[in-house]
Structure 1
Amino acid sequence: MATLSSSFDLLDERIRRWIWSAGWSELREAQERAIPAILTADHDVIVAAATAAGKTEAAMLPVLTNLLKDDDGLALTLYISPLKALINDQFGRLLPLCETLDIPVWPWHGDISSSSKSRFLKRPSGVLLITPESLEAILCNRGFSAPTLFAGLRYIVVDELHAFIGSERGKQLQSLMQRVELAAGARVARIGLSATLGDMRLAADFLRPRAADGVETIVSTSEGGDLKLLIKGYVVLAPKDREADDADEHPEAEAVRSIAGHMFKTLKGSNNLVFPNSRGKVEQYTYELQKLCAAEGMPNEFWPHHGSLSRELREETEAALKSKDRHATAVCTNTLELGIDIGAVKCVVQVGPPPSVASLRQRLGRSGRRPGESSILRGYAIEQEIHSESDLSSLLREDLFEFAAMTSLLLEGWVEPPRPRGMHLSTLVQQLLSLIAQRGGMMAPEAYRILCEAGPFDAVGKADFVSLLSHLGAKDILMQDASGVLLHGAKGAPLVNHYTFYAAFSAEEEFRIISGTRTLGSVPVSSALSVGDFILFAARTWRVDEVDEASKSIYVTQHQAGRPPRFSNGAGMVHDKVRERMKKLYEGTDDTGFLDPAAVRLLAEGRDTYRRYDIGRRPLLHVDGRALILSWQGDARNATIAMLLRMKGFSVGCYGAILTIEQAGAELAEVSKALQAIASMPLPPIEDLLANALNLRQEKWDSALPENLLQRSFASQKLDLAGAHEWIKSQWYT
């Protein structure tokens, strides 16, 4: 290899010997290209390559070579991962090599002993494997020693970069990297690793805000084998008794049993991952699959894996997947979407549309990792039986088209780009409190410079920052001493000193749905709600009568003119491009090539409905006494269109691709007139748009925000005012 690879020759001799002894015949493409780029530690680099394409080695081989050039042995690399399990995996991969190089590797998270952490603190060098939360804790609790701890820092490596972009945790990570560099007193090379990146420019801007031009991007296209995929269509029979409460007799339960039966026949005797999109569905499918194992008198091959399970139970599932002595299939949420080492997986199963194209791509990357093996995706699209009360979403076979649209975009290599310019004020509050803890106090102008002017919260102006400080002072979260130094207030100090402070994100909270004195169940609600809105739950439509944010309760009344909705797929926010592709599929004539005969029939039914209602030329319809809007825009734009119409006095429900004006007698002329008025007027202030909206406090520190900043922060991340207004003008501006 030395004679064939110039990159190989750049590595330290001891690393080259280790590569030979490991039996490598050649370097992967990503490694060949990344080694010379990373070795110099003088600029930032992103390495994007398929799962199992050797990204970790592409970063760490040149990083370790660089560390070995340090004569005093005090050079340091921060390797930041989103999961503790990933840190444990990387520790196992790096330790054999690093032991031969006499470079220490330090895993650091809540399960690591204090004695190990103490040894690192005495001599901070080598490779520190850490989560953002643990890094936050170091800066908070050891702020005065941070310059010493990071004095030898050469690199910051971010694994699974895509998992951070666009989230509160991502803003925290950006801020932490900025604060670590300030503590080190030098600009440090940042290395981003990912298998799932769309817009490389936006990814570069995330890694080094306002300096993306200096980030070198390496995109490997040579890795990965063939892809085999098939989406099967399933029709759920209509319930005989719509008021029945027996969950076992509900048609959705029958669909789970039917699909589980097909999975069992297809998956038994091999290792696989099944993604049903929610924790509840994980439990349902695992239960049915385990029953089938017992019925056949065979050892269990199906194991659950989701965030509500204990670490011990999750590790049992991971151990079953890694075992060489048995076959195992994990039924999981996105907890197994990232690169935890679970051994070889034959195929990935997706039940219903995935949360996003990026998520589908990441999940599919877990399959076909052995040389010569194909990646296999098996999908299940579930639709309802058509009957006299079927709604337009069911008639359009919307879930199937969403699944097919995401799959076709996946095949073209597209994934959702991160959403830029979110304010992320919840995380700004956390980072402000953390920075004060690290420095023992801060002057307001310096805090603004570090966090906003030179930091990641550049969407926050000085006036907003001053308003935020004033509000935090009024709530006793912050205080200012006589010299003007910001300190923790009476309520802020215990918050910062609690172990839960270090995480920027909040645990997913569910709202109880209550009708009269009866609790119907609970569900996560990520959209803004207003009294009079309509929600879908338990296959029925409900009117929102009251929202109690303190107790996380929504009080509802069944909407008598309601219709049984399609089953929720538990997805996140659908991108505009997905809905545009759905429209293209409705207007097409081919069967996409990856649908089974049942799914092809559903495709034809959806297209027939699309043509019958002339939806291609009519974004506004009147169906079953309701006005319906089909914008073919993403969830952020649809939510904004709904808000704009609510300002005009309409009750609007957002059900997938369809906006529904629920009040009886809503005539098309009235709705069209309102949309014409919206098209001809400038956009309203955010404060007016969200004046009656509830459930805006969705992030961890939103409760600390003044109302106007809360509204603007929510809008910057969940709405698309400009895009929605542009679409309305394109249809109704005269």
Structure 2
Amino acid sequence: MTTASLEKLDQVLVHHIVNSLGWRDLRPLQHAAIDPLIAGEDALLLAPTAGGKTEAALFPLLSRMIAEHWQGTSVLYLCPLKALLNNLNPRVERYSQWIGRRAAVWHGDIRASGRRNVLVERPDVLLTTPESLESMLVSRKVEHNEFFADLRAVVVDEVHAFAGDDRGWHLLAVLERLTHLIGRPIQRVGLSATVGNPEQLLTWLQGSNADLQSASVVAPGIPTYSASTTAAPSPGEIELDYVGSVENAAMVIAALHAGEKRLVFCESKKTVEELGNLLRGKGITTFLSHASLSVDERRRSEQAFAEARDCVIVSTSTLELGIDVGDLDRVIQINAPSTVASFLQRIGRTGRRPGSIRNCLFLALDSDALLQAAALLLLWGRGWVEPVCPPPEPRHIVAQQILALTLQQGRIGDHDWTQWWNGLTPFGAAASPIMRHLVDNGYLDSDSGMLFIGPAAELRFGHRNFMDMTAVFAGPPEFTVLIGRTELGRIDPSLLTEKVLGDRRLLLGGRSWRVTYVDWSRRRCFVDPADGGGKARWINPGTAGLNFHLTRAMRDVILGADPPARLTKRAVSQLVSVRDERSELAHPAGTIVVRDQSAEDVRWWTWAGYRANATLTATLGGLADPLQRFDDRYVRLRSDIDPTTWRKELRAADQRLCLPEVNEKALGGLKFSDALPKHLAIATLAARTADLDGAAATLNEPSRFVTGELRR
């Protein structure tokens, strides 16, 4: 280690990198990050999973800590998951101790004694989540002005996981409040896997820093992915198989790769439970991980899997992020994720050992999943990955932040409250109607030009010292499942109310349980082990469907494009059948309207994705069938539509794109919507349901009108 950039690291740190870690050199990202981070620049560090991003950020910041004599809590390390914090904490503690400094973790699962220790002896590096960070700001037990006074830098791990949803807006807003609190900019460092728009993601992360500090995207040695990229990445060992059922998937997994450690990703908790149960029934050492298992259950599974060989762990996306489960031999994907970015995260869990390569085996359970998997791999082969875009119009987050700031400060001025967000666009003057609504409806009270928490906020959010206000998402109602005093996890309450013959049995943790008692008032149920017959179910919170690019890639596959992967004979045969059945519904030069002669069913096959089709349905107005729903691939039209009317209306529609209609019942899924005027809450959901670009692109394509047998 003799490069000039290494000389800028603290030499005690370098000594331990060489002698304690046994590293002969740093990785390319770690070398490249030294200069910009030592210089105090904001940065986005890009590398695949296990690419050394944590060290790339911390080694320069710890060196600055020594060189510039930082004291107190000077570095925040933010993660999207508590499990990821727990996993990282021992490493960060070790690195900090090398230079005589301390690190500590703070989140909702940390005991009160541990939090007291953090407040008494402020760590130099604090690992936490944005929600827990805000809970510190609003807590009366934390002197936040003093605690954060020495803050210099913040590291945001898995920043792409924040930026794509409302947690990203919440994160930015909290960082701006911290910046205003301490009166100076905070260096911001984001860590991410490959994204399609790194420059835009970095600018988003900078927030108010964008006009004040220089910034760098640091991504040595990895391809730049974008919609225009055509060079295919290295395929590694990618295979696509069609198995037709969960039972068959279990047979394939049990028969293949004996003696290896396998991580199986599923797209639902129900599939995780069913597959885990089937694998155990075949004598495979199997562990499970998903968000409705208790924290202790997940930790035991992940720890046991990390230490074992010849085993399988079946997981939802909870293990997609950088939680360390040891060296993996194989990744197996049931069906397909909805984004190329997720696939890159998952395949990145393999190929870490010298001599190994990255690999993934796709097992499709039905024809639609096979088509989606093939399309996903087609996009990946083209070198394309989704841009990370924050959801538009975060008005409900603005309402939450105004209330949280009022809790933090006790009182805020009715004219200067916008200053706390340093000009961050959604929280400036445009938020004034939201502020007026909060005052007019009792969420805030006003006295002599000062605003403070009102009775409506006390009633709606005041439970548990307003901690409900720091959680951005509203989770579905679930019952806690216990065996004795040990929590197993949570289930959908419908499993406890549906009619059954004999014992009521649940499937949780890959095992069957017999319900012995239900405590309805406390939302708990008690169970004993059962010998089978358990059922798993959870409310699906709903998704935005497939995006425009993935759905268009599905059309390309139907039209003959092959993904850059090995296809088994079963996959090839099934794909031939899919193409034969659906070839009349896809055209390379545009869209197709198909009228089914027997059912008078008319569908416009746009292959434009769910959100674009929602926008097109609203734009078409009376031409769309009011009683039938659209999906990712088509929009249903009125049965009496004819080619002449269709072409005329289509030309007019191009000039008047409309936002999708929103059912008021859907507002319940938008947390803090009660704190918004109803028309603004509806407008927020409508903007998030729309894809104006995809809809416009579809309207600009030629459209053919044909009559024939309607095929799905």
| Shared fold per TM-score greater than 0.5 | yes
Matched, 1:709 2:644: no
CA offsets per residue over residues 48-93 of structure 1, 9 Å max, x none?
0011111111111111001112447436101111111111121111
Corresponding residue of 1:698? 669
CA offsets per residue over residues 492-536 of structure 1, 9 Å max, x none?
13515233222112224699999xx9899xxxxxxxxxxxxxxxx
1:484-495 alignment runs, 5 A limit: 484-494=449-459, 495=461
Preserved CA contact (<8 Å) 1:232 1:599? yes
Give the C-alpha shift of residue 103 in structure 1: 0.4
Preserved CA contact (<8 Å) 1:622 1:668? no
Corresponding residue of 2:472? 504
Give the C-alpha shift of residue 728 in structure 1: 2.3
Corresponding residue of 1:578? 550
1:128-167 alignment runs, 5 A limit: 128-142=126-140, 145-167=143-165
Matched, 1:627 2:602: yes
- Residues 164 and 330 (structure 1 numbering): CA distance in 2 closer, same or farther, change over 3 Å? same
For 1:37, what is the secondary structure of its paired residue?
helix
Identify which of 203, 206, 224 aligns with 2:204. Answer: 206
Matched, 1:175 2:141: no
Corresponding residue of 2:519? none
Matched, 1:433 2:433: no
Preserved CA contact (<8 Å) 2:438 2:444? yes
Matched, 1:306 2:290: yes
What one-letter code is carried by the residue in structure 1 that aligns with 2:593? L
Give the C-alpha shift of residue 204 in structure 1: 1.0
- Residues 669 and 302 (structure 1 numbering): CA distance in 2 closer, same or farther, change over 3 Å? same
CA offsets per residue over residues 466-510 of structure 1, 9 Å max, x none?
3322332343222222x1322111121351523322211222469
- Residues 319 and 205 (structure 1 numbering): CA distance in 2 closer, same or farther, change over 3 Å? same
Identify which of 556, 561, 579 aligns with 1:607. Answer: 579
Quote the Cα distance in structure 2 between the aligned partners of 1:184 and 1:336.
36
Identify which of 302, 314, 329 aligns with 1:331. Answer: 314
Corresponding residue of 2:443? 477
User: Identity over aligned residues, as a percent?
Assistant: 29
Quote the Cα distance in structure 1 between the aligned partners of 2:237 and 2:199.
30
Quote the Cα distance in structure 2 between the aligned partners of 1:150 and 1:332.
37
1:296-445 alignment runs, 5 A limit: 300-324=284-308, 326-383=309-366, 397-420=367-390, 422-445=392-415
Corresponding residue of 1:88? 86
- Residues 232 and 491 (structure 1 numbering): CA distance in 2 closer, same or farther, change over 3 Å? same
What one-letter code is carried by the residue in structure 1 that aligns with 2:656? P
Matched, 1:108 2:80: no
Quote the Cα distance in structure 1 between the aligned partners of 2:52 and 2:295.
27
Preserved CA contact (<8 Å) 1:76 1:124? no
CA offsets per residue over residues 635-661 of structure 1, 9 Å max, x none?
211111123345556224223322234
CA offsets per residue over residues 291-334 of structure 1, 9 Å max, x none?
111xxxxxx5112211111111111210121114x433111111
Identify which of 275, 284, 300 aligns with 2:265. Answer: 275
What one-letter code is carried by the residue in structure 1 that aligns with 2:569? P
- Residues 595 and 437 (structure 1 numbering): CA distance in 2 closer, same or farther, change over 3 Å? same
Quote the Cα distance in structure 2 between the aligned partners of 1:570 and 1:233.
26
Give the C-alpha shift of residue 212 in structure 1: 5.1
- Residues 85 and 46 (structure 1 numbering): CA distance in 2 closer, same or farther, change over 3 Å? same
Give the C-alpha shift of residue 570 in structure 1: 8.3
- Residues 509 and 683 (structure 1 numbering): CA distance in 2 closer, same or farther, change over 3 Å? farther
Give the C-alpha shift of residue 343 in structure 1: 0.5
What one-letter code is carried by the residue in structure 2 that aligns with 1:716? A
Quote the Cα distance in structure 2 between the aligned partners of 1:97 and 1:283.
38
Give the C-alpha shift of residue 186 in structure 1: 0.7
Corresponding residue of 2:634? 658
- Residues 309 and 626 (structure 1 numbering): CA distance in 2 closer, same or farther, change over 3 Å? same
Corresponding residue of 1:466? 432
CA offsets per residue over residues 562-608 of structure 1, 9 Å max, x none?
xxxxxx99875322221222222222355644321221222222333
Give the C-alpha shift of residue 104 in structure 1: 0.8
Quote the Cα distance in structure 2 between the aligned partners of 1:492 and 1:671.
52
- Residues 120 and 618 (structure 1 numbering): CA distance in 2 closer, same or farther, change over 3 Å? closer
Mean Cα deviation higher: 357-366 or 466-475: 466-475
Give the C-alpha shift of residue 261 in structure 1: 0.8
Quote the Cα distance in structure 2 between the aligned partners of 1:343 and 1:726.
45
- Residues 493 and 120 (structure 1 numbering): CA distance in 2 closer, same or farther, change over 3 Å? same
1:238-257 alignment runs, 5 A limit: 255-257=245-247
TM-score by length of 1: 0.80
**Aligned residue pair count:** 632
Corresponding residue of 2:14? 16
Quote the Cα distance in structure 1 between the aligned partners of 2:301 and 2:445.
48
Quote the Cα distance in structure 1 between the aligned partners of 2:390 and 2:195.
14
CA offsets per residue over residues 658-715 of structure 1, 9 Å max, x none?
2234x7x44444872684375265345x5xx526564244221123322211122112
Quote the Cα distance in structure 2 between the aligned partners of 1:667 and 1:301.
58
Mean Cα deviation higher: 194-203 or 409-418: 409-418
Quote the Cα distance in structure 1 between the aligned partners of 2:152 and 2:443.
36
Corresponding residue of 1:721? 692
Give the C-alpha shift of residue 440 in structure 1: 1.2
What one-letter code is carried by the residue in structure 2 that aligns with 1:600? V
CA offsets per residue over residues 134-169 of structure 1, 9 Å max, x none?
101111115983332222212110011111012111
Preserved CA contact (<8 Å) 2:134 2:470? yes
Preserved CA contact (<8 Å) 1:320 1:328? no
What one-letter code is carried by the residue in structure 1 that aligns with 2:374? A
Corresponding residue of 1:234? 243
- Residues 315 and 680 (structure 1 numbering): CA distance in 2 closer, same or farther, change over 3 Å? closer
Preserved CA contact (<8 Å) 2:548 2:694? no
1:52-67 alignment runs, 5 A limit: 52-67=50-65
- Residues 691 and 342 (structure 1 numbering): CA distance in 2 closer, same or farther, change over 3 Å? closer
Corresponding residue of 1:26? 25
Mean Cα deviation higher: 62-71 or 260-269: 260-269
What one-letter code is carried by the residue in structure 2 that aligns with 1:503? A
Preserved CA contact (<8 Å) 1:277 1:569? no
Preserved CA contact (<8 Å) 2:176 2:208? no
CA RMSD of aligned residues (A): 3.1
Mean Cα deviation higher: 225-234 or 503-512: 503-512
What one-letter code is carried by the residue in structure 2 that aligns with 1:429? A
Preserved CA contact (<8 Å) 1:473 1:479? yes
Quote the Cα distance in structure 2 between the aligned partners of 1:372 and 1:225.
15
Quote the Cα distance in structure 2 between the aligned partners of 1:206 and 1:68.
29
Quote the Cα distance in structure 2 between the aligned partners of 1:600 and 1:429.
52
For 2:191, what is the secondary structure of its paired residue?
strand
What one-letter code is carried by the residue in structure 2 that aligns with 1:457? P
For 2:669, what is the secondary structure of its paired residue?
coil
For 2:143, what is the secondary structure of its paired residue?
helix
For 1:284, what is the secondary structure of its paired residue?
helix
- Residues 593 and 81 (structure 1 numbering): CA distance in 2 closer, same or farther, change over 3 Å? closer
For 2:238, what is the secondary structure of its paired residue?
strand
Q: Which runs of 5+ in 1 are unaligned?
A: 236-254, 294-299, 384-396, 521-567
Give the C-alpha shift of residue 722 in structure 1: 5.1
Quote the Cα distance in structure 1 between the aligned partners of 2:65 and 2:163.
28
Quote the Cα distance in structure 1 between the aligned partners of 2:362 and 2:68.
51
TM-score by length of 2: 0.82
Quote the Cα distance in structure 2 between the aligned partners of 1:280 and 1:75.
42
What one-letter code is carried by the residue in structure 1 that aligns with 2:677? P
Corresponding residue of 1:457? 426
- Residues 683 and 642 (structure 1 numbering): CA distance in 2 closer, same or farther, change over 3 Å? closer
